[in-house]
Chain A
Amino acid sequence: MDDDGWARFEAIIDSALAERPPGVRRQIGTFLNLIRIGPALRWGRTFDGLDDRRRDAWLRWLQDGPIGLFRQGFWGLKTLLFMGYYGQCEVWTEIGYAPLFDARGRLGAGA
């Protein structure tokens, strides 16, 4: 994303977080710290110091692992991030999404 995209990304997420109770915002902050510091227990390095393979492995462990709280936290964080990105209309062209209010002329056998 360019600078404008990052600004929109942050604005969407800030707006979404502002609607959430303070407790939820604190939980997200705690989870982000877990993501950052947790790898140190396994690899002796924080998230920033990991290579891509280990970063991927750590995130997938949070997503799929045995701790329900972590799975839920990962899903919630991921949802927030995807909102910030895919919630931008400017991203529509990147993914080929082009809605029309009047699409009647676009219907017909395709596949």
Chain B
Amino acid sequence: MPERETDVLVIGSGAGGGAVAKELAPLVAAGKRVTVVEWGAKLRPEEYTGREVDMAEKLYFDSGGMLTQDRAMTLAMGRAYGGSTVVYTGTSLTVPERVIAKWGVPGLDWRDVVTRSQKYLEENNVHLLDEDEINDNNRLFLDGCRHLGIRVEQFPINVKGCRGSSLCNLGCPSLAKQGTHRVQLPAAERAGVEVVTNCRVERIGEREVTASVMNPAWGEPSSWEPGRYRIRAKLVVVSSGAVQGPALLLRSGFGDRLPALGRYLTLHPALILVGEHEHEITNFYGHPKSYYCDEFLESERFLLETCMYFPFTTAKNLIGFGAEHSELMRAFPRLQMILVLAIDPALPSNRLTLGGDGEPVVDYTLTEPVIDSLHASMRASARIFFAAGARRVHAPAGVRFFIDRSQADRVDELIPRERVVPGRMSVTSAHVMGGCRMGSGVADSVTDGWGQVHGTPWLYVADASLFPHCSEINPYVTIMALADRVAERIRDRAGELLA
């Protein structure tokens, strides 16, 4: 087996890995070697085709449809040079103080997280889109909420040169989205960090990993020849996300002494609702996600966001089939969409384990309060659609496929709680968090407040798996801020850690 050596090995290149790579690049100037290994491929610009099924296969684990163990949810996680930052919509929010307070991680100060977050907001060109860049789908959400007296905020977005393709979740064909593949990784590589794509780490041993390189039929070939490798590293940073990261550590035997490893997963379970308008609206032109509503966050534990999805994704999220389903799909240019996200608790029973084949299994149960939140969010969304002028609404828990606007005053009756049934609806997650939570002790955490795995000074974690509880916002910027912190700790201790 060929052997490679490096000083710092970063596993994963998404929000966490990309940030760590750039922040550790100064070590290269000091004569150290920094290597990033990424399971996914680096796509060529012309490979961003906007074809839904093709791009899902190239950019997501399990084509964006990884199932939880009970098959009640699907998880969408990116796998590419840039990780999930290639496929998310670029919304960039700073974590609220109450979330960091709830996390209760010793030494983790909210003001420090804000300072680090601000750095990434600037680095990633995060800004509010101008009014003339906002499409009808988003504007109607704003109008509907204002009509009902519901508070709405605009999402800051990390784009430069956005051309309004609305294809963010399939990889931006204009390369406008400022994910790590556009900002941090290229900067790291210019500074001498090596990034190896199409490279899957199989196991972590004592200051070494075994990995395999295999080039898929898309993307640039890896800079390493196909085959298995043993990579020796003085320090390893796991930035593989909240499923693959804990899975790798479990496979490597760390679960024996870290009972919290893989536990306390949170997902922000989400549903899509659809409203149909009388006339065509701009929905698949323009950035898909301009507004959100957190008015119900404290009272009913859910968020509402604007969204716009593609034909197959839309079709599978409608509960039903036959003539009605086909009729609504053929109204595609008249559809307005809302994404609802529930704020879920961090429970030790919601966990990541390994199957018999060593692959990750997500054992997650939707709790009754979370189902209550999803139910309440559907009713709120239906009201917003009607307030925006929709002629009819499809809600996953509706007693009938359509709720007509003549029935708008009966929304509560027509979306009953008993219809919110796991397994029947398409509940998804694109915010997978936890599994290697930060904390003070081995009993209920995996790393300290700086991402170092308890008892293993050469092993760090820098991704969403650090979150002790969910972030209650899109986790992207928070991941980068925490990764920034991890990198700073490594730089500060480089003399000792990389001796």
CB-contact partner of B164 in A78, A85, A102, under 8 A: A102
Q: Would you call B321 an interface residue if the criterion is a C-beta within 8 Å of the partner chain's C-beta atoms?
A: yes
B309-323 with Cβ < 8 A to chain A: 310-312, 314-316, 319-322
Determine the distance from Cα of A56 to Cα of B57 in the docked complex, in whole angstroms.
32
Q: Are A107 and B164 in contact (CB under 8 A)?
A: yes
Q: Are B279 and A110 in contact (CB under 8 A)?
A: yes
Q: Are B315 and A82 in contact (CB under 8 A)?
A: yes
Given the known A-B contacts A82-B316, A107-B133, are A102 and B174 also in contact in the complex, defined by CB atoms under 8 Å? yes
Measured CB to CB, the closest approach of chain A to B124, in angstroms, equals: 21
By a CB distance below 8 angstroms, the chain B residues around A72 are 70-72, 423
Q: Would you call A2 an interface residue if the criterion is a C-beta within 8 Å of the partner chain's C-beta atoms?
A: no
Q: B318-335 vs A: 1/0 string, CB under 8 Å?
A: 011110000001111100
By a CB distance below 8 angstroms, the chain A residues around B53 are 12, 83, 87
Measured CB to CB, the closest approach of chain B to A73, in angstroms, equals: 8
Q: Would you call B284 an interface residue if the criterion is a C-beta within 8 Å of the partner chain's C-beta atoms?
A: yes
Q: Would you call B277 an interface residue if the criterion is a C-beta within 8 Å of the partner chain's C-beta atoms?
A: yes
Q: Are B424 and A64 in contact (CB under 8 A)?
A: yes
Of all chain B residues, the one with the shortest Cβ separation from A63 is: B424
Q: Would you call B445 an interface residue if the criterion is a C-beta within 8 Å of the partner chain's C-beta atoms?
A: no
Q: Are A104 and B164 in contact (CB under 8 A)?
A: yes
Q: Are A110 and B312 in contact (CB under 8 A)?
A: no
Determine the distance from Cα of A16 to Cα of B57 in the docked complex, in whole angstroms.
9
CB-contact partner of A111 in B134, B140, B322, under 8 A: B140
Q: A71-101 vs B: 1/0 string, CB under 8 Å?
A: 1100110110011011101011011111111
The interface size bin for chain B is: 35 or more
CB-contact partner of B316 in A56, A63, A64, A79, under 8 A: A79
Q: Are B330 and A101 in contact (CB under 8 A)?
A: no
By a CB distance below 8 angstroms, the chain A residues around B314 are 86
Determine the distance from Cα of A107 to Cα of B129 in the docked complex, in whole angstroms.
13
Determine the distance from Cα of A98 to Cα of B57 in the docked complex, in whole angstroms.
21
Q: Are A101 and B50 in contact (CB under 8 A)?
A: yes
Q: Would you call B353 an interface residue if the criterion is a C-beta within 8 Å of the partner chain's C-beta atoms?
A: no
Q: Would you call A68 an interface residue if the criterion is a C-beta within 8 Å of the partner chain's C-beta atoms?
A: yes
By a CB distance below 8 angstroms, the chain A residues around B63 are 16, 19
Q: Are B173 and A63 in contact (CB under 8 A)?
A: no
Measured CB to CB, the closest approach of chain B to A6, in angstroms, equals: 16
CB-contact partner of B424 in A75, A87, A107, under 8 A: A75
Q: Are B163 and A94 in contact (CB under 8 A)?
A: no
Q: A45-82 vs B: 1/0 string, CB under 8 Å?
A: 00000000000100100011000100110011011001
Q: Are B422 and A19 in contact (CB under 8 A)?
A: no
Q: A7-22 vs B: 1/0 string, CB under 8 Å?
A: 0000010011001000
Q: Are B286 and A107 in contact (CB under 8 A)?
A: yes
Q: Are B65 and A79 in contact (CB under 8 A)?
A: yes
Q: Would you call B412 an interface residue if the criterion is a C-beta within 8 Å of the partner chain's C-beta atoms?
A: no
Q: Would you call A1 an interface residue if the criterion is a C-beta within 8 Å of the partner chain's C-beta atoms?
A: no
Given the known A-B contacts A78-B316, A83-B53, A86-B311, are A110 and B136 also in contact in the complex, defined by CB atoms under 8 Å? yes
By a CB distance below 8 angstroms, the chain A residues around B163 are 101-104
Determine the distance from Cα of A111 to Cα of B425 in the docked complex, in whole angstroms.
29
Q: Would you call A106 an interface residue if the criterion is a C-beta within 8 Å of the partner chain's C-beta atoms?
A: yes
B404-430 with Cβ < 8 A to chain A: 421-426
Q: Would you call B367 an interface residue if the criterion is a C-beta within 8 Å of the partner chain's C-beta atoms?
A: no
Q: Would you call B158 an interface residue if the criterion is a C-beta within 8 Å of the partner chain's C-beta atoms?
A: no
Measured CB to CB, the closest approach of chain A to B384, in angstroms, equals: 14
7 residue pairs from A and B, CB less than 8 Å apart: A15-B57, A87-B53, A95-B330, A96-B331, A97-B310, A106-B285, A111-B281
Given contacts A99-B50, A108-B132, A110-B281, 6 further A-B contacts (CB under 8 A): A16-B63, A82-B316, A101-B165, A107-B135, A108-B282, A110-B280
Q: Which B residues fall within an 8 A CB radius of A?
A: 50-53, 57, 62-63, 65, 70-72, 132-136, 139-140, 163-167, 173-174, 277-282, 284-286, 310-312, 314-316, 319-322, 329-333, 389, 421-426
